Structure 1
Amino acid sequence: MTQPGPEDPRSADPRAGAAPAGGAEEPRGVDSRGAVDLSALAGGQQGQQGQQSRPSRPTGAAQQPAASGGGQGADSWVIAVQAQQLQQVVQLSSQAPVVVLIHGADDASEQMRTRLEDAVDAQQGRVLMAEIDASSPEIAQAQGADQVPVATAFLGGRPVGEFDASVPAEQLDQLVPQLVQAATQNGMTEPLPPQSTRAAGGAEAEPELPPEHQKAHDALEAGDLDGAVAAYEEALRQKPGDEDATVGLARVKLMKRTQDADVEQVRRAAADAPDDVDAQTAVADVDVLGGHVEDAFARLVRFIQQHPGEDRETARAHLVELYSIVGDSDPRVNKSRQQLARALF
């Protein structure tokens, strides 16, 4: 697996070309001939703004709690996503390496899929795998889409290698650890929480959801963020104290706010307008989505400390919502809450 040179992951552009980073030669067995150009999908097909990208279960800092399955399944770091969700998946590669597998229903796809799932889950959160069904319209229309299965590895927001079913099984087992090693060399050492549950047979075991939560989940599967918002809001009307619906609603709203965001433009706007609460909350959103949680929290706490009045309350409410997205049990949330208390009082 090719390895990118050390860099601040926030400077990595997910719209970069598919050439391996650092100009290093690809190892034998990594074959991109006929592969789908995932970097084009990652950059979106609508000019400079990337398409909205949302995993079927929000991941990384914006994830749903992994299902315990009542002890009947094993934690997994494999998720199924839609093609239009790829931008968000690529952003997660600033936290940990991401392997994106485009697969069909053929035997070769199933064998490669199972092998990679086992290799990824063996790393216990040091790498994430996102699976895309090749029958989706976005993939079916892409050049070379018939060349499945094919997988592309992303690190720091950049593609670092592609491989297909021609890679020998034993070599495929080595590729994931090599990717983790490259991530470690770039300072990515924190494992991600589980993203799903694998049943004993190796398939994902989905938890049974309340009706409105299931509607929200189905809407997310279809890329309908407005529908997901409406479903979570209805769940809260039916049960005002529904914590899962509250958190789910906050997470979907984060997706809506960032779905068309140009990260570089958002950062420039925040740098040019340090006293603009909207600019500061916008960059905090993309930081949380990209895994830079502490940076997002520190930015808003600092703004709150320096700006009394209505802007302070706007920033405080936004920060509290980001706390709920990350999770109250996260130590970064506890630390920031203490800093917020000092900033307020």
Structure 2
Amino acid sequence: MTRSNPRSDPAALSAAFSRAVDLSALKRPAGPAGPAAGAPRPAWVADVTEANFPAEVVEKSAQNLVLVDLGSPRSPVSADVSAMMERVVAPYGGAVALARVDVDAQPRIAQAFGVQTIPTVIAVAAGQPVDAFTGEQPEAQVSTWVQSLVEAVADRLPGMAAAGAVDGAAAEAPVDPLLEQAEDALEAGDLASAITAYEALVAQNPADTEAAAALAQLRFQERAAALPADAVEQAQAAPDDLAAQFDAADLLFATGRTEESFALLVDVVSRFYGDERTATRDHLLELFALVGNDDPLVIASRRKLAAALY
């Protein structure tokens, strides 16, 4: 996507991007359209040339979201992306159109979009590009990107609203197999397998904040399950034992005594120095993230942490 991750608000329409692309040179046919290339395809998939660009992209995008797939027969990745895009748009039943462009045969279209890398997929709505991605991306990630775009533009494009694109596609959007694996493992009570699946999800897409947050929660649950029931008492009996302090803070956190957990670690920060202080700070920041950085208790505890550090 123009931004590297389709989940990072990909549907926010880029005014700067829209102004940077001038499609006016392609709004008049350059000559008679040639025969469509390739095997028969669904009605919502079209091979686009300069001749049919006005109808298949400019005019169609006044009614529906159009995804312009610019690739080359010289690029194996282009073929993979084109096949993936056909699968991604299929659930929308024509509410989202796929326009394929062979940049070798139609260089002026690529030039009009300012494309420098292939494959590139550009989303067009109401005659203007609104977002894009280049190269090969995970299919589930692209599906999420398309759905976000649909939700952003559906109320402005009459063809999509009439087709019920948002409701229909949301129900049929493919789920990442790793996410299904993680959910199945959680239902079976297999925490270790769920963690492994989420680790793979995060490795596949480090910008997936939802998967990262879920992984952090599961890792904490795994750690908390191994805590001794008397961890708080052990920490009180050994105030210089850093590991014991961490266990006590985790047990307090896991049992809903969040404020006490934070206060314990802030106190440890004020009593330790060097690597031990750094480790304590990092442990506390990890617990902050589990609660959420906008939580009032986290905000107040951050101030106390800063005072203890400096």
TM range (shorter): 0.3 to 0.5
Higher relative contact order (CA 8 A, sep 6+): 1
- Compute the TM-score of the two structures, normalised by the length of structure 2: 0.42
Q: Which has the greater radius of gyration?
A: 2
Name the one with the larger helix percent.
Answer: 2
- Compute the TM-score of the two structures, normalised by the length of structure 1: 0.38
